[in-house]
Amino acid sequence: MSEPEMTGNWALQIYREVLAMKKDKALVVVDLQVDFCPGGALGVADGDKIIPTINKYVELFSQHQLPIFVSRDWHPPETTHFQAFGGPWPVHCVQNSRGAQFHPDFQIPDSAIILSKGTDPSLDGYSVFDAQDAENRFFLELLKERQVKELYVAGIATDYCVRTTALDALHHGFKVTVLIDAVKGVSPTDSERTLKEIVEKNGQLKGFDDVVKALN
């Protein structure tokens, strides 16, 4: 083999590796549901304000043909998650209720994989890693199946389900980027503490322009 051929083959291999690296990313949008937006049972202040930005991320990941996962709280009517049954929370996101629906302004592509959590009446189900798809496959299995190595996390609430999802992802060895312009928390103080915790555990915080650069 001549030196030019070797150089060309080497460059092609590098290109393929770089391309593969760009295809090992996925977007996960956490719990962008009616009950977690203003006016809902557990509405987060200005939770609906991040929806236009999340829609931009959805469009971006769709353009790059990258997986998009969308989680939802999907509680049974009776669960230890609710105050009436010994839990900490008022009734919210009950299966097939209006409050459990995704916010009407959230543009979910047909290719998105819907993940339901909180379905077990004895478990809280904060993390998307507790969620399953329509075929009862857990999030971790779906990520491994698609060879995903890096997660970009958006949604509600920064200091609860976004937090547990990001920390679980780091625990499982994924690279994690929290989309700082596409999350909203219950408590500003706790949300700030959460983001600091994620960074201390080697997670990253990025906005839209930085993510565009990372995917190109």
Separation CA 159–CA 191 (nearest Å):
5
In the annotation, is 161 catalytic? yes
Residue carrying structure tokens 């008022």: 90
Separation CA 60–CA 62 (nearest Å):
5
In the annotation, is 31 catalytic? yes
Per-residue 3-state assignment (H helix, E strand, C coil) for 51-104: HHHHHHHHHHHHHCCCCEEEEEECECCCCCCEHHHCCCECCCCECCCHHHCECC
Q: How many C-beta atoms surround the C-beta of residue 112 within 10 A?
A: 17
Q: Which of 130, 161, 168, 184 is catalytic?
A: 161
Separation CA 78–CA 117 (nearest Å):
14
In the annotation, is 93 catalytic? no
Q: Verify cis geometry, omega within 30 degrees of 0, for the bond prior to 157.
A: yes
Residue 104's contacts (CB-CB under 8 Å, 6 or more residues apart) are 34
Q: Which of 73, 117, 130, 159 is catalytic?
A: 117
Burial of 3 (0-12, 13-18, 19+ CB in 10 A): exposed
Q: Which of 25, 31, 124, 159 is catalytic?
A: 31
Tell me which residues are annotated as active site. Answer: 31, 117, 161
